[in-house]
């Protein structure tokens, strides 16, 4: 679900339910659950496939395995790509996703970028396009955890190719474009948490193109989230450890 509320005297008041995903499920994996606004005030959020890869991601009748777009009041934008398609969930913006756990708006282009967990291998970075099918599970660069194939296809006509692929998987979580002048060595690039390897990843960009990546803070822990303070400081949320600030000399 997506809710909104006002903050008053350190308490949430006037809460409203904006979105309630269906169908409900008792599975305990692949929530997705990242949220981001764009420059036009649209609210994007991800829902993972909830462990039903052969049902949810490729069907527009289900909310899971998708990135959605709504207005800030919960209504559906009339320009959403499937708003006039019978039986489609009107909030869907893109589909064919496995488990997107990072989302951020490009500070210059305004495009929404996302990354998602592949299976064993095949973690992806994607620039999200309206109505695009990102392929899961019909195409993937990963395999099943037991080592068997999911598919022989890594691409198919009509399905969006990822803008970057990690093999082996890094288990990405959190995503932040570095805009602060406090970190000139990283400015203009993207930070992504690597839960599997317990470090931060610097994703290097040339405009809209990912050109490479490097490791930061090896052994720091399972980086779950990344955020920029209004004063330009970068903060990391690390599983089981707490919130850490990255000081300008590149330490936490």
Lowest mean pLDDT across 19-33, 88-102, 211-225: 19-33
Peptide bond into 23 cis (omega under 30): yes
Percent of the chain past pLDDT 90, that is, above it, reads: 94
- At residue 252 the predicted structure's pLDDT band, cuts being 50, 70 and 90, is confident
Query: Is 6:12 a contact under the CB 8 Å cutoff?
Result: yes
The pLDDT value recorded for residue 143 is 96
Residue span(s) of the chain under CATH 2.120.10.30 come to 1-167
Q: What is the pTM of this model?
A: 0.95
Q: Note whether 96 and 138 are within 8 A (CB).
A: yes
* Cα separation values, 153 from 90, 116, 161, 225, Å: 29, 18, 12, 32
| pLDDT tens digit sequence for 35-90 | 999 999 999 999 999 999 999 999 999 999 999 999 999 999 999 999 999 999 99
The domain 1-167 belongs to what CATH superfamily? Answer: TolB, C-terminal domain (2.120.10.30)
Catalytic position from the list 30, 56, 141, 189: 30
Q: Quick check: helix, strand or coil at residue 213?
A: strand
30 is catalytic: yes
pLDDT of residue 248: 82
| pLDDT classification of 133: cutoffs 50, 70, 90 | very high
158: Cβ contacts below 8 Å, ≥ 6 apart: 133
In CATH, the number for domain 170-252 is: 2.40.10
- CATH 2.40.10 residue ranges of the chain are 170-252
Q: What pLDDT score was predicted for residue 242? A: 97
């Amino acid at each position: 679900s997506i809710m909104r509320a006002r903050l008053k005297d350190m308490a949430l008041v006037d809460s409203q339910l904006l979105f309630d995903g269906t169908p409900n499920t008792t599975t305990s994996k692949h929530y997705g659950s990242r949220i981001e606004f764009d420059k036009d005030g649209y609210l994007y959020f991800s829902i993972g496939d909830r462990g039903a890869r052969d049902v949810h991601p490729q069907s527009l009748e289900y909310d899971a395995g998708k990135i959605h777009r709504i207005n800030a009041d919960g209504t559906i934008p009339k320009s959403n790509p499937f708003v006039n398609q019978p039986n489609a969930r009107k909030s869907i913006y893109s589909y064919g996703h496995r488990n997107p756990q990072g989302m951020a708006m490009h500070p210059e282009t305004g495009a929404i970028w996302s990354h998602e967990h592949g299976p064993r291998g095949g973690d992806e970075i994607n620039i999200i396009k309206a109505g695009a099918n990102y392929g899961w599970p019909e195409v993937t660069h990963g395999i099943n955890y037991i080592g068997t194939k999911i598919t022989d296809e890594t691409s198919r006509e009509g399905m969006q190719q990822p803008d970057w692929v990690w093999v082996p998987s890094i288990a990405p979580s959190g995503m932040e474009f570095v805009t602060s002048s406090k970190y000139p060595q990283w400015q203009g690039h993207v930070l992504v948490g690597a839960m599997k390897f317990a470090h931060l990843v610097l994703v290097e960009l040339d405009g809209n193109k990912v050109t490479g990546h490097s490791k930061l803070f090896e052994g720091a822990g399972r980086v779950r989230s990344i955020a920029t303070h209004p004063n330009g400081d970068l903060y990391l949320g690390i599983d089981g450890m707490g919130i850490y600030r990255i000081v300008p000399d590149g330490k936490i």
